[in-house]
Amino acid sequence: MPEPALPQPGLRQLYSQQQIAARVQELGSQVTRDFAGQTLVLLGVLKGACVFLADLARAIRLDATFDFLAVASYGQGTYSSGEVRLTKDVDESLQDRNVILVEDILDTGLTLSYLRTVVLAHHPRVFKIAALLDKPDRRRVPISADYVGFTIPDQFVVGYGMDCAERYRNLTGIYLLGE
C-alpha cells in the first residue's frame, strides 16, 4: 500500500512497512514462545506505542489483554526534558500478572525507568519491556528492553505511531525527520 501524500517531502525512510511487519512478527513469535501456556497483559504507553501494540498483539498467539498508561513530559520540542508525570494509570489490576510494557522508543530511558517503578508498584508476576526502537547512544539511566525491534543511532524518527508535535503518527513506515 502506498504512503499517504506527505505534507513534508523532507522525510527519509528508515524502515518500510514490510520491514517493520516482518520484525514485529518475529517479536510476536518470541513472546509467544517465552510465555507459552500463560496469559499476558500488553501495557501500552500512549500515544506513540499504539500502532506497535496493535500489530504486536496480533502477532502473539496467546490469551492477551490490553491496558494503557499515559505520561506527559514537561519538555517541549523533539526531546523530552526527562521530567515525567503519569497522566493515566492502569485500569485493571496487574497483581501476579505477566506484563509486557510496550513502548515506541527507548531513548534516554528516563520515561521507561519511571514507568518501570510505576508498574512494579502493582506487583506483577513477570515484568518485561518491548520497545520498537532502541537508541542506546542516548541512554542517561541504565535500562534495557527485553524485546527490541530495531536498534538505531541518535536520530529523530517519526511514523508508525511516532510523532513530531503530534504529526506523522499515521505513516506506515518509519522516517528520519530532516532538520
C-alpha cell at 148: 527490541
Q: How far apart are CA 97 and CA 99, in angstroms?
A: 6
Residues 6+ apart with CB under 8 A from 159: 11, 168, 169, 171, 172, 173, 174, 175
Interaction pattern, residues 2-41, with ligand IMP; x per rule: CB under 6 A? ----------------------------------------
157 binds, among Mg ion, ligand IMP, none (CB under 5 to 8 A by kind): ligand IMP
In the complex with Mg ion, the residue whose CB is nearer, 116 or 126, is: 116
Is residue 161 a contact residue for Mg ion (CB under 5 A)? no
Is residue 156 a contact residue for ligand IMP (CB under 6 A)? yes
Out of 48, 124, 149, 161, the only residue in the binding site for Mg ion (CB under 5 A) is 48
173 binds, among ligand IMP, Mg ion, none (CB under 5 to 8 A by kind): none
CA 96 from centre of chain: 23
Residues 6+ apart with CB under 8 A from 153: 135, 137
Out of 43, 162, 171, 174, the only residue in the binding site for ligand IMP (CB under 6 A) is 162
67 assigned to active site: no
Is residue 159 a contact residue for Mg ion (CB under 5 A)? no
Q: Which stretch binds ligand IMP (CB under 6 A): 51-59, 89-97, 104-112, 122-130?
A: 104-112
Number of shown-chain residues binding ligand IMP (CB under 6 A)? 16
Residue 72's DSSP bridge partners are: 85
Residue 177's DSSP bridge partners are: 11
Asked whether the beta carbons of 45 and 68 are under 8 A apart, the reply is yes
Is residue 44 a contact residue for Mg ion (CB under 5 A)? no
Is residue 157 a contact residue for ligand IMP (CB under 6 A)? yes
Runs of H (alpha helix) within the chain: 17-34, 50-58, 110-120
Examine residue 88 and say whether the peptide bond preceding it is cis (omega within 30 degrees of 0): no
* Type of residue at 2: P
Give the residue numbers marked as catalytic: 107
Q: State the residues that interact with ligand IMP by CB under 6 A.
A: 48, 80, 103-112, 156-158, 162
